[in-house]
Amino acid sequence: MQDEAGEDWVENARMIVDSAGAIVPADGSLARVRAVRFKGPGYDRGIMAEAGALGLFQMRVGTGAGGLGLGLRETCELARVLGRGLLPEPVLPAIMAAALLQENLPGSALTGEQVLTWAWQDAPGRLDWTGGVKDGRLCGRKHAVQGAAGADLFVVVTGAGIALLPRDAVTVEVADSLDGGKLCSIAFDNAADLRPCATAQSVIEDATLAHSAYLLGVSERALEITLDYLRIRRQFDRPIGSFQALQHRATEMKVGLELSRAAIFATARRFDTGIDAQSRAQAAARVKLRAAQLAMHVSREAIQMHGAIGITDEADIGLFVRKAMAEANLFGSPRMLRARLAAMLDEGLAA
């Protein structure tokens, strides 16, 4: 990948988006997504194998470790496409877990033969990640572990380092989530080796940015579906999309999308070309706050504009609304992020 003097990332992103067509239908079909809802782990392990065959898990692994060494701009473009297709598989968590492991990434995880995910969040509704070690021993619990219900390998992130644990070394607690997936936490207590990892915080911020791009994709497609409905739904012998009040609301959503897209990719560029740690943390929180608010705003508007049909299970827009509700609080709820940004601002003023 080139730095700010080059535009190689654009071609890289284009190729990645083209290859993602193997796991996200180009026609927008949600048949496969519907087929795995509330069943098994909530996703298809075969899709993870396809993602591995496409080399997606190598995106954030450095070239020196045999990976592709791609940047956040390419990763965010992939995440946006995955969001548009409501991809339930833990592709992004696997990419971030691989970024932590680098040359220690097992070949079976690289190919998707074994499903890899990561576990970093110490408590529900918190962004702390340094827990999980007691008296030098890996011991504790991690929450909001994406894909854990069907995962084979877990990268556990602690303040003392990271550990790669097999499925039989953790206890997985599973509950159904609103979108048909699984909400998981894991518990562990063993003497696994901890490897030093100086990049844990930055990878969590990378993941926050990529998740923001996923929410952007969800919002984009939800708005497209809504606009299509406004064109075909008629009232008083006119398409309801001709009503000025609805046009204004649709325009507001479109503006929000463009602002969020610009913020995400401008921030990804800054991450790729170099940014200090404090600015990095602030930028990740700001972008995630904007993306989460956008996803919920578009969801509410989409339901209102569809009317009662929007909340039926048969309506595709309902799947996007449920996904937004299930995913908007990952990597920090809007309320938490506002408090976090305010605290960082106070710290900056004090300094």
> Quick one: pLDDT band at residue 16, thresholds 50, 70, 90?
confident
Q: How does pLDDT run across 99-132, given as a tens digit for each residue?
A: 999 999 999 999 999 999 999 999 998 899 999 9
pLDDT in tens, 299-347: 999 998 888 788 888 899 999 999 999 999 999 999 999 999 999 888 7
Is 150:49 a contact under the CB 8 Å cutoff?
no
Work out the pLDDT band at 242, boundaries 50, 70, 90: low
Which sign does the torsion angle of CA 187, 200, 93, 65 carry? negative
Region of 69 (left: φ > 0; alpha: ψ -120 to 50; beta: rest) is left
Burial code (b: 16+ CB inside 10 Å, e: under 16) for 221-245 equals bbbebbbebbeeeeeeeeebbeeee
pLDDT > 60? residue 31: yes
Instruction: Give me the chain's average pLDDT, please.
Output: 91
Q: What is the DSSP letter of 54?
A: T
Which domains can be identified in the chain, with CATH numbers? Answer: 200-350 (1.20.140.10)
What is the rounded distance in angstroms from the CA atom of residue 146 to the CA atom of residue 273? 29
Is 116 buried (19+), middle (13-18) or exposed (0-12) by CB count in 10 A? buried
Q: Is 160 helix (H, G, I), strand (E, B) or coil?
A: coil
Bridge-partner residues for 185, per DSSP? 173
Do 54 and 176 form a contact (C-beta atoms < 8 A)? no
pLDDT in tens, 76-101: 999 999 999 999 999 999 999 999 99
